């Protein structure tokens, strides 16, 4: 049996500021199963809030899963980017 030697490499995970985070909501209220209606993704919370209010008024559904999506970058801490590492 061979033993694997793992080396831990410190990585820094940062928010990717070249892209905008997005917000959305999914209706999770329903009789037998979650409704599943979705607001779509928006760069502002206002259209999502308006969609939830409209959906509640139309259906009576009053429970949502709110979704926040953002992008992240990963780089070696105090070192070259992963792309630079792959090339070497
Ligand atoms: Zn619904």
DSSP 48-72: HHHHHHHHHHHH----EEEEEE--E
The Å distance, Cα 4 to ligand 1 centre, comes to 50
Structural domain boundaries, residue 26? 20-72
Q: Any bridge partners for residue 11, and if so which?
A: 76
The Å distance, Cα 36 to ligand 1 centre, comes to 6
d(Cα 33, Cα 46) in Å, to the nearest integer? 27
Confirm whether 30 is domain-assigned: yes
Confirm whether 50 is domain-assigned: yes
The Å distance, Cα 28 to ligand 1 centre, comes to 7
**Domain count across the chain:** 1
Confirm whether 6 is domain-assigned: no
The Å distance, Cα 80 to ligand 1 centre, comes to 47
**What confidence score (pLDDT) does residue 3 get?**
82
What's the pLDDT tens digit per position in 59-88?
A: 999 999 999 999 999 988 876 555 555 655
The alpha carbon torsion through 14, 19, 20, 22 (nearest 10 deg) reads: -90
Left, alpha or beta for 76 (phi > 0: left; psi -120 to 50: alpha)?
beta
Read off the pTM. Answer: 0.70
């Amino acid at each position: 049996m061979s033993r694997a030697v793992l080396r831990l490499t410190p990585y820094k995970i940062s928010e990717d500021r070249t892209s905008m985070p997005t917000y959305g909501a999914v209706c999770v209220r329903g009789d037998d199963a979650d409704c599943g209606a979705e607001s779509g993704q928006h760069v502002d919370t206002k259209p999502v809030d308006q969609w939830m209010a409209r959906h509640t008024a139309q259906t009576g559904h009053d429970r949502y899963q709110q979704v926040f999506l953002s992008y992240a970058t990963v780089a070696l801490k105090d070192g070259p980017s992963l792309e630079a590492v792959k090339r070497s």
